[in-house]
Structure formats: C-alpha cells, structure tokens
C-alpha cells in the first residue's frame, strides 16, 4: 500500500486513449532494441557463419497465432537467415517442447535475405502460446555475418551451436551467452495493445539475475496481462537521450523502437540519467553548460512527445532516479541540481500525458539524492531485484485504461 500511495496521482493529465485499430489485430508481446554488439558481447570470428542460435524470450500476452521479426538493423550488407523454428520453451533451458515446434516461413519460403539496415516480419505461425510464457526462437545463419546486430543486455541465456540444429529438441553442446541476436520482436494476434518501455540500463535490467525475469517491466507486465496489455522492453544499457552511447540515442531510435512496434498504444520514457552522468564524468563543466544540458534534455523529451502524439500514442514521463554515491559517474551537487530541475519539469509541466514518479518511490527519505538502501543494487545507480519489483508494482494501472 505504501508503494501505491507514493505514486498516487501518476495519471497527471491522463486522457482517454483513442480506440486502437491495430495492425490486423497484431500487437507486440516481446521486443528488444537492436544495436551493434561490441567487445565480449559480440560473436567471435569463428561464430559468424554456419551457426544455430536458440533464444528464449518471455512473452507478455499469448494467443493462438504469432509472428516474429528478424533484424539486420545494423548490418551494412544483406543477411541470410533460414530454417527458423519457434516452440514453447523455458528460461535457462536449451530444450523445447517438441510437440509445439513450428517451422517459420517468410513469404512462404523457409529462408529470408534481410536487407541491409532492415528487418523482416514472418508469415503468421499457428501455435498456442499462453500468457506469461517462454518462447524458444531458433535461427540458422549460414553466414557470413559481416556486421552484427543484436541486444547485449538479454538477461536470458542464448544457445549457440555450429551447424543447422534448428529443429533439435535440445542443444546440449551449445555455447551459452547472455545476449540476443537478430531477433527484435514477437507479435501475437489478439484484441490487446502494447505498452513500450523506452529506457536505459535501469529499464534493460542491469543487476537482474540471468533467466529470472526480474526487470521492472516484467513485474508490470504480470499485472497488465489481465487487461489485454502487453509490455515490451526497449531499454539499452548506457543509453542517452541526445548522444549515442552503447547504442543509438533515444531520439534517433524512437521511430523504430517505439512507433514501429506492432500495436503500440502507450510509451513510458525513462531516460536522462546517462546524459547527466556522462556530462561531468571526466571533468566539471561550467554553470552555462549545466543550463544548456538541462535545456537540451527537456527539448529531447518534447520531441518524443510530439512524435508520439502525432501517431496517436499516449506518452508518460518517468522521473530520473537518484545516483549520488555512484563511483562511475560520481555526480556532484551541480548534477543533482540538474536532476531536480528536470524532475520538476516532468512532474509539473503537463507536457507528458502522465507521470511515473520512480524518483519518489526509490529515493531514501533521509538522503533524497541516494537510492533507498533496500532498493539499491550496491552501485548507487541501479536498483536491485527488490527495487525493480517495487517499481513494476507501483505504476498506476489506470494510466492504461
């Protein structure tokens, strides 16, 4: 009750949403933001051809018909994908329910050549997927992959094995990685609609245990399935509103990661902490630079609001959570003052259709520039599992009525 009370009145200026026509009844039930994997997140050279990739994704709403979207969004050359299969699976397991195994086609063919910087949607697939289920999606990539596309922050185990093993019941010899590759969306055909969470590592789930589904969006999704609402996570670790970081900036990726999501009707924007932290990480900046930074962040928010409203989406702003004490960004009083200015604007400007006050929820009442210790992962920037659970449970469901 205390958590709910803290967020009473989130629906500031919440308006009745227009009737949603949808895309032939299709809405996204899982998604991930695509970027170029680097360092340890990238596939090594010997895994860039003749590989099977089995990925386990946790869907929000189910149905009797699905489709998937494969991605070459960062690839400069076309990418061949073939022998794609879907089946019910289990997080943390390479095994599938063979009775549910279905081959996936693209225009009636068992393979697809995804164009450079493009994505392809499959034909509809007849498979009964329950709500709150784990789906195994297996791709065979003959290769070579010239430029990789994927999502490093999967917080779910992916299985990689040389050769074509797309319809194998299990992959006991597969290499395990906590990344997703070339898979950007799973859609379900039903009467529901989709809520998109656009954010950084706090949305992506930094500090969440692998295969646990412990992100704040997972907790929120569990609450909204009964309302025929799917929640998809479009978070990228290190993401910023205005400048690229570990992935394209939020303004640049908004069209693909929000407006391009099937059945998108609402979006929560939870971005800005990395813009603030990066600005002073290496050296202090003068007062006029702080003023310019705040002005730029607010301008970026307004751009996202304009674009969401132009497409008939409701857009909600999440306040930036505290991060004093973090050793990576080591924010000083000037940065904290910037955060307070931005949060005041989010709460009071009326620019967003509603406010998700995560700051009020997880800050320490005795030291409001710090995360409450019970919700802190230990780095004083990212919530821990208890913090994420509290965040997902506290969002006001009436925003999405």
pLDDT, residue 23, reads 58
pLDDT in tens, 58-113: 999 999 999 999 999 999 999 999 999 999 999 999 999 999 999 999 999 999 99
Over residues 218-225, the mean pLDDT reads 97
pLDDT, residue 401, reads 84
Nearest alpha carbon to residue 43 among 143, 170, 187:
143
Predicted confidence band of residue 16 (pLDDT cuts 50, 70, 90): very low
Question: What sign does the dihedral 383-387-391-392 (CA atoms) show?
Answer: positive
Predicted confidence band of residue 37 (pLDDT cuts 50, 70, 90): very high
Half-sphere exposure of 21 (CA within 13 A, CB side): 3
Over residues 126-151, the mean pLDDT reads 97
CA distances to 23, 95, 103, 217 from 232, in Å: 17, 24, 24, 7
pLDDT, residue 136, reads 98
pLDDT in tens, 146-197: 999 999 999 999 999 999 999 999 999 999 999 999 999 999 999 999 999 9
Predicted confidence band of residue 14 (pLDDT cuts 50, 70, 90): very low
Burial 340-360 (b: 16+ CB within 10 A, else e): bbbbebbbebebbbbbbbbbb
Over residues 143-148, the mean pLDDT reads 94
Helix (H, G, I), strand (E, B) or coil at 122: coil
pLDDT, residue 19, reads 34
pLDDT in tens, 274-325: 999 999 999 999 999 999 999 999 999 999 999 999 999 999 999 999 999 9
Strand segments, DSSP code E, in 206-285 are 229-235, 264-270
Nearest alpha carbon to residue 353 among 4, 16, 18, 22:
16
Is there a contact between 327 and 379 (Cβ–Cβ < 8 Å)? yes
Q: Tell me, what DSSP letter sits at residue 227?
A: G
pLDDT in tens, 316-364: 999 999 999 999 999 999 999 999 999 999 999 999 999 999 999 999 9
| The model's pTM | 0.94
Residue 165 CA to residue 56 CA, distance in Å, equals: 15
């Amino acid at each position: 009750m205390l958590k709910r009370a803290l967020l009473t009145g989130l629906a500031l200026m919440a308006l009745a949403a227009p009737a949603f026509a949808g895309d032939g009844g299709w809405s996204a039930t899982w998604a991930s933001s695509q970027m170029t994997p680097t360092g340890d997140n990238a596939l090594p050279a010997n895994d860039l051809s003749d590989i099977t990739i089995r990925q386990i994704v946790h869907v929000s709403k189910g149905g009797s018909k699905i489709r998937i979207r494969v991605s070459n969004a960062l690839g400069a050359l076309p990418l061949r994908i073939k022998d794609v299969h879907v089946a019910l699976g289990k997080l943390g397991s390479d095994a599938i329910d063979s009775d549910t195994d279905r081959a996936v086609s693209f225009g009636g063919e068992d393979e697809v050549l995804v164009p450079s910087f493009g994505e392809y949607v499959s034909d509809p697939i007849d498979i009964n997927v329950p709500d709150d289920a784990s789906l195994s999606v297996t791709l065979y990539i003959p290769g070579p992959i010239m430029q990789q596309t994927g999502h490093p922050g999967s917080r779910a185990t992916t299985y990689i094995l040389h050769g074509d093993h797309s319809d194998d019941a299990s992959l006991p010899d597969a290499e395990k990685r906590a990344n997703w590759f070339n898979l950007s969306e799973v859609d379900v055909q039903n009467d529901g609609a989709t809520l998109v969470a656009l954010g950084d590592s706090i949305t992506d789930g930094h500090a969440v245990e692998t295969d646990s589904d412990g992100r704040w969006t997972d907790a929120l999704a569990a609450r909204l399935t009964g309302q025929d609402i799917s929640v998809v996570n479009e978070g990228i670790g290190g993401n910023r509103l205005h400048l690229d970081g570990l992935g394209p900036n939020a303004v640049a990726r908004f069209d693909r990661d929000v407006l391009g999501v099937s059945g998108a009707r609402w979006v929560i924007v939870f971005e800005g902490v990395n813009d603030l932290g990066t600005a002073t990480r290496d050296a202090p900046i003068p007062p006029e630079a702080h003023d310019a930074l705040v002005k730029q962040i607010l301008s970026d928010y307004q751009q996202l609001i304009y674009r969401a409203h132009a497409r008939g989406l409701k857009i909600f702003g999440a306040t930036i959570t505290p991060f004093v004490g973090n050793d990576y960004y080591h924010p000083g009083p000037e940065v904290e003052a910037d955060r307070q200015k931005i949060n005041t604007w989010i709460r009071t400007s009326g620019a967003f259709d509603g406010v998700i006050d995560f700051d009020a929820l997880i800050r320490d009442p005795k030291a409001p520039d710090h995360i409450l210790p019970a919700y802190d992962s230990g780095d004083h920037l990212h919530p821990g599992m208890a913090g994420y659970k509290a965040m997902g449970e506290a969002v006001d469901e009436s925003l999405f009525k």
